[in-house]
Amino acid sequence: MEFAHKSVLLKETMEQLNIRPDGIYVDGTLGGGGHAWEICRRLSKKGCLIGFDQDADAIQAAKKRLLEFQDQVKIIHSNYCKMRSELHKNGIEKVDGILLDLGVSSYQLDSVERGFTYREDAPLDMRMDQSQVRTAKDIVNGYTESELFRVIRDYGEDKFAKNIARHIVAAREEKPIETTGELAEIIKRAIPAKVRMSGGHPAKKTFQAIRIELNGELEVLKNSLDDMIDLLNPGGRICVITFHSLEDRIVKTIFKTNENPCTCPSNFPVCVCGKKPKGRLTVKKPIIPGKEELEENKRSKSSKLRVFERI
């Protein structure tokens, strides 16, 4: 299956990245290379792009997609949380722009055997990095009821989290839960029929929660953003596209703290903590897709772009 993925907020991201032709740019979530191709197209022979992805399928697809720019592109098979150390290994201390597109790619969702989707029956996998040993099956069958409740409540924001966790534990006492189809059915039974009639697929939030837990998505994001801001040259920008409120909240909070890091009480006449702003938000509100994009690509629906510029 071809690695097909429609890049979300493409035009807006390119505008906000404000690309310098001779600059060094990093795509921390390379995917099929859609955003990366647009960055490369705007670079001179002196400019370069470094792409990161933990998914081997994405790496192969991006290599193909970016073949015409191969002299300017370096692709690294790694999670973006290792960006600073990997760039350092390659002799790069500062960059002019960083992009993170945090959505699960269409390819990952549509490759049934990867176990991300609740719409088809497949082994419970959900690994972004397939060299990782632990899978979704280990979480579903190995976590205690209270651990499952915490994951589904915190990462799925599902008000039926307690009931879903209880149903999962009861079902696996009969036999291990092996597939996405089995899990989706168990979740369905845990949610009142009236609620199931509206508001999307009943398993959507739980699947999201398990995927986030398995891949450590929120921790990685939280622990990486400050580092990335430090990597930027003055005037360099970081663009982050999120797809749910949990990610967006992290990005918003960290960007705001870097714009206004002062910890002095509000009644102090002058700042004494000595914490200086590292940059500014280029747009106060997140950028969202326009009507045309929403019609063309329904997966762009919940996407938001936030941008921070280094001073």
Q: What is the CATH number of the domain that holds 150?
A: 1.10.150.170
Are 66 and 37 in contact, with CB atoms under 8 Å apart? yes
Same domain, yes or no, for 250 and 184? Answer: no
Looking at the structure, tell me whether residues 28 and 55 fall in a common domain.
yes
Residues 20, 85, single domain; the answer is: yes
C-alpha distances (whole Å) from 175 to each of 141, 149, 166, 179 are: 10, 20, 15, 12
Last residue within a domain, chosen from 152, 180, 215? 215
166 in a structural domain: yes
* pTM, entire model: 0.94
Copy the structure tokens of residue 17: 């990245």
102 and 241 share one domain: yes
CA distance 168 to 164: 6
Cβ atoms 54, 70 nearer than 8 A: no
Residue 251: inside a domain: yes
| Segments forming the whole domain that contains residue 161 | 131-215
Same domain for 221 and 207: no
Q: Which of 158, 184, 215 is the last residue of a domain?
A: 215
- With a cut of 70, which residues of the chain have pLDDT below it? 1-5
Rounded CA separation 150/157 (Å) = 10
Residues 170 and 32 in one domain: no
Is residue 2 in some structural domain? no
- Taking the C-alpha atoms of residue 33 and residue 18, their distance in angstroms, rounded to an integer, is 19
**pLDDT at position 13:** 98
Q: Are residues 272 and 254 in the same domain?
A: yes
pLDDT tens digits for range 250-286: 999 999 999 999 999 999 999 999 999 999 999 999 9
Domain count, the chain: 2
Tell me the three state secondary structure of residue 233.
Answer: strand
Q: Is residue 273 assigned to a domain?
A: yes
Can you give the CATH number for the domain in which 247 is found? 3.40.50.150
First to last CA, the chain: 44
Q: In this structure, are 99 and 15 located in the same domain? A: yes
- Structure token pair of residue 148: 């499952």
DSSP state of 300: G
Same domain flag for 167 and 287: no
Same domain, 209 and 245: no
Q: What is the DSSP letter of 82?
A: G
Q: So what's the pLDDT on residue 4?
A: 52
Residue 5 lies inside a defined structural domain of this protein: no
Within a domain: residue 114? no
Assess whether 178 and 263 both reside in one domain: no
238 strand-pairing partners: 98, 308
Last residue of a domain, one of 199, 215, 231: 215
Pair (51, 91) in one structural domain: yes
In this structure, which amino acid lies at residue 173? E
Is there a domain that residue 59 lies in?
A: yes
Q: Where are the beta strands (DSSP E) in the chain?
A: 24-27, 48-53, 73-77, 95-101, 232-242, 279-281, 304-310
C-alpha pair distances (Å), 276 with each of 28, 81, 156, 203, 263: 27, 24, 36, 45, 10
- The residue among 59, 53, 21, 60 whose CA lies nearest residue 39 is 21
